[in-house]
Amino acid sequence: MRIGVVGVAGRMGRLIAEEVAAGGHILSGGTERRESGHPVPDGIIAFPDLAALAAASEAVIDFTHADTAEHHAAVLAAAGTAWVLGTTGLSPNGDAAVARAAQAIPVVQSPNFGPGITLLLALAERLGAALPAAEYDAEIIEMHHRQKVDAPSGTAVGLGRAVAKGRGVRLEEVMDSGRDGHTGPRPPGAIGFAALRGGQVVGEHTVLFAAGTEHIALTHRAFDRRMFATGAVRAAAWTQGKPAGLYSMADVMGVG
């Protein structure tokens, strides 16, 4: 499959370009902004703009910047080229543009293209549905590097949301985060969060269901951002022959 990479000199862009080749696909080329200060890496065909890249590609992988979403949506929809969108932090207008584009082309959008995390989210929802909340206390434990400024991580919140969805409740109603001091006993049905910070941990997440007689724990450890690139290339290949629509990584993995 001919796959193009917009923003190919970015941190993710470079990894994605490598993974396109590693996945046995043809890297049609890439684009890069003049202002980025990073040229298109050697050996990759540089296209002047996204329209030219789209015309040469069956799918374009986009891990760039939220401000580009509306423009990229219009260009890719007009070209009829599938769009794998990993950029996060889109505005409501950006989200609306993505939904419009998905009427014309296949769009795979995910805040986390890691195949392992995608499976963990699906499993967390299933366990949440299967294990009675009155018996199984759900706790989400995460650890990240010392530079991380927010807690709990977006992925931890996503896992809590998945458990809550399985239980048929809204996370906001049951979230128990940042325990300290005299907290009183654990509220029944709470979904607890604990955030550890230290060293250079890329990202570790555990979903724990703790009952009186047993514990069930699912753990994911990320060692390298490359897992996002591998997943994005898998998503691009999956779009081949797919009708227009808005898809998630869970759809790509067959767990949606």
**Residues assigned a catalytic role:** 144, 148
Number of H helices, E strands in the chain: 9, 11
Instruction: Give the interface segment with ligand NAD, choosing from 63-71, 157-165, 176-184, 199-207 (CB under 6 A).
Output: 63-71
Indicate which single residue of 4, 5, 47, 63 sits in contact with ligand NAD (rule: CB under 6 A): 63
Q: Which of residues 91-150 bind ligand NAD (CB under 6 A)?
A: 110-113
> Does position 203 bind ligand NAD by CB under 6 A?
no
Indicate which single residue of 1, 3, 5, 12 sits in contact with ligand NAD (rule: CB under 6 A): 12
Q: Alpha helix locations (H) across the chain?
A: 11-22, 50-55, 69-79, 92-101, 115-130, 154-167, 171-174, 226-238, 249-253
Q: Alpha helix locations (H) across 23-68?
A: 50-55
Q: Are 53 and 30 in contact (CB under 8 A)?
A: yes
Strand order in the sheet with 175-177: 175-177, 191-197, 137-144, 203-210, 215-222
Indicate which single residue of 39, 49, 88, 178 sits in contact with ligand NAD (rule: CB under 6 A): 88
Minimum CB–partner distance for residue 125 and ligand NAD (Å):
19
Q: Considering the complex, state which of residue 121 and residue 194 has its C-beta at the smaller distance from ligand NAD.
A: 121
How many degrees, rounded to 5, is the angle at CA 119 between CA 115 and CA 120? 115
Instruction: Give the interface segment with ligand NAD, choosing from 31-39, 135-143, 178-186, 209-217 (CB under 6 A).
Output: 31-39
User: Which residues pair with residue 85 across a beta bridge?
Assistant: 62, 109
> Does position 9 bind ligand NAD by CB under 6 A?
yes
Closest to 114 (Cα-Cα) out of 233, 244, 21: 233
Closest to 11 (Cα-Cα) out of 26, 27, 29, 32: 32
Residues 6+ apart with CB under 8 A from 60: 3, 4, 5, 6, 50, 53, 54, 76, 81, 82, 83, 84
> Does position 86 bind ligand NAD by CB under 6 A?
yes
Indicate which single residue of 67, 173, 214, 224 sits in contact with ligand NAD (rule: CB under 6 A): 67
Q: Considering the complex, state which of residue 90 and residue 163 has its C-beta at the smaller distance from ligand NAD.
A: 90
Minimum CB–partner distance for residue 8 and ligand NAD (Å):
7
Minimum CB–partner distance for residue 91 and ligand NAD (Å):
12
Instruction: Give the interface segment with ligand NAD, choosing from 18-26, 58-66, 128-136, 157-165 (CB under 6 A).
Output: 58-66
Question: CA 139, CA 63: separation in Å to the nearest integer?
Answer: 31
Question: Of all residues in this chain, which one has the CB nearest to ligand NAD in the complex?
Answer: 10
Q: Alpha helix locations (H) across 38-91?
A: 50-55, 69-79
Q: Considering the complex, state which of residue 117 and residue 124 has its C-beta at the smaller distance from ligand NAD.
A: 117
Contact residues for ligand NAD, defined by CB under 6 A: 7, 9-13, 32-33, 36, 63-65, 67-68, 86-88, 110-113, 228
